[in-house]
Amino acid sequence: MYNENPTIDRLEKTIDEQRQGEALMLDETTTDGKKFYIESYGCAMNFSDSEIVSSILATEGYSSTRNIQESDLILINTCSIREKAEHNVRQRLRVFDKVKKGKPGTLVGVMGCMAERLKTKLLEQEKLVDIVIGPDAYRDLPKLIATAEHGDKGVNVILSREETYADISPLRLGSNGVSAFISIMRGCDNMCSFCVVPFTRGRERSRDAYSIVAEAAELVDRGFKEVTLLGQNVDSYKWSSPDETEHVNFAQLLERVALVSPELRVRFSTSHPKDITDEVIYTMKKYENICNYIHLPVQSGNSRILEKMNRTYDRAWYKERVESIYRILPDCSISSDIITGFCSETEEEHQDTLSMIEWAGYILSYMFAYSERPGTLAAKKYEDDIPLEVKKRRLSEVIKVQARMSKESNKRDLHKTFKVLIEGDSKKSDLQFKGRNSQNKVIVFTKQEGYKKGDYCFVKINGLTSATLLGEIVDGHE
């Protein structure tokens, strides 16, 4: 769920993809006391972490600002997933350095996935930052700020096996007041050979199911209408009570959250093809408020490449999972992540990815050229031998097929009526609302009296733009 791909910027997707580098702030801020500025990159998990950090800072008396010049503490929540993501962060650090020079005493902190990897470089060689803090150390931030205020560097990049921040109620940053993320687990144990995440975010651990349900209930009380349960691999969620009498898997957690309120839409991301069970799919079927949308990254359509990627499934297994989804939930939409030009990928193997996009009928995909990451299994074991031009050409072919599939899927929606959750005004006009259907497609439609942000309405689709469905409000389901 990342996007650095200019060709898909036009697509409306889940909020996080549009928010790269966004400076986030709280709805309500106080004017006295110290101020922090926070900029976030990468996946939804990182954005969710920024909300945890904001909560920790608010407890310390800090308030948030969007104006970098007036901040006492500048934080950048970083992503390491591809080289380009790291490059962007380095550029931003140069800008922060200028701000710091204009206002001595301002502290700059690097948090998130780059922290562990680059701590020495950032602190010693470039002297750009005062605080380096890894994803499992956020509780330590006040202490590290104090250290930095005394002129020393504040560093904690220790990864934990237990930390889930279960007891911290995240402060919703830049929220539309309708949708919120709930982090249900941290880390990843899968060791896909291309991926740096297991190294930057550590071992997988699941958060207390009761604290997740309590967070969802609190959001409902505050008027929120949609939650997205977040984890690198939600299907391997597994929580046991301390006395080991209660065990909760992902399907059971989904059910508990769905039961919080029938008015609350429940989404989740990301699913792993090796772990998604029929129990999860049947739970989705059982509850109308669990959305019919699954992000099920295939990465490659070829079994040999999947094996080299250490994805632990092959093409046939993946197809079987997709067939089960469509069999149990005929209205479900599926999206994917795809990597082109992984080590030793041949043209024929690349063709398997193209045919998989067509076969699976993804409504959208996040598509990337392979970028070797230091320390990963692939970097150690395989040669990054596909030339950049070839990776890029294959990427453009993947993008083209996906664009056709997205368009075909949108065309099939013409004249259908969907239940839509209104998220707010459309980008282009305040005479129009923007919302999503259960399948996660964005729909823009003319406002009608009696409807407001956060309401559900039924919308009949009567047009399409390149990436958005257009429609009009109709009475009830037709």
Angle, helix 44-59 to helix 141-149, in steps of 10 degrees: 70
- The region of 29-37, 188-196, 223-231, 458-466 touching ligand SF4 under the rule CB under 6 A is 188-196
- Taking the C-alpha atoms of residue 362 and residue 12, their distance in angstroms, rounded to an integer, is 15
Q: Does 298 bind ligand SF4 (CB under 6 A)?
A: no
Neighbour-count burial for 325-350, b at 16+ CB within 10 Å, e otherwise: beeebeebbbbbbbbbbbbebeeebb
Q: Does 306 bind ligand SF4 (CB under 6 A)?
A: no
Three-state DSSP at 262 gives coil
- Taking the C-alpha atoms of residue 293 and residue 265, their distance in angstroms, rounded to an integer, is 12
Which residue in 65, 299, 417, 438 binds ligand 5AD (CB under 6 A)?
A: 299
State whether the Cα torsion 471-473-476-478 is positive or negative.
negative
Q: Does 186 bind ligand SF4 (CB under 6 A)?
A: no
Nearer to ligand SF4 by Cβ, of 381 and 452: the residue is 381
**Phi, psi at residue 325, to the nearest 5°?**
-60, -50
CA distances from 460 to 148, 471, 478 (A): 56, 5, 9
- Under 8 Å between Cβ of 471 and 443: yes
Q: Does 194 bind ligand 5AD (CB under 6 A)?
A: yes
Q: Shortest Cβ distance from residue 79 to ligand 5AD (Å)? A: 9
- The region of 6-14, 54-62, 161-169, 193-201 touching ligand SF4 under the rule CB under 6 A is 193-201
Nearer to ligand 5AD by Cβ, of 174 and 297: the residue is 297
Here's the x/- map for ligand SF4, 208-247, by CB under 6 A: it reads as: ------------------------xx--------------
Count of residues interacting with ligand SF4 (CB under 6 A):
10
Q: Cα torsion for 76, 208, 269, 65, to the nearest 10°?
A: -30
Q: Does 373 bind ligand 5AD (CB under 6 A)?
A: yes
Partner touching 370 among ligand 5AD, ligand SF4, none, CB below 5 to 8 Å by kind = ligand 5AD
Q: Does 455 bind ligand 5AD (CB under 6 A)?
A: no
Which residue in 13, 35, 82, 391 binds ligand 5AD (CB under 6 A)?
A: 82
Here's the x/- map for ligand SF4, 257-286, by CB under 6 A: it reads as: ---------------x--------------
Cis peptide, bond prior to residue 164, ω within 30 of zero: no
Tokens of 86: 């790291």
Partner touching 2 among ligand 5AD, ligand SF4, none, CB below 5 to 8 Å by kind = ligand 5AD
- Taking the C-alpha atoms of residue 390 and residue 398, their distance in angstroms, rounded to an integer, is 12
Q: Does 185 bind ligand SF4 (CB under 6 A)?
A: no
Q: Shortest Cβ distance from residue 195 to ligand 5AD (Å)? A: 5
Q: Does 197 bind ligand SF4 (CB under 6 A)?
A: yes
- Under 8 Å between Cβ of 219 and 177: no
- Taking the C-alpha atoms of residue 134 and residue 119, their distance in angstroms, rounded to an integer, is 9
- Under 8 Å between Cβ of 308 and 342: yes
- Under 8 Å between Cβ of 132 and 139: no
Q: Does 117 bind ligand SF4 (CB under 6 A)?
A: no
- Which residues of this chain interact with ligand SF4, rule CB under 6 A? 188, 190-192, 195, 197-198, 232-233, 272
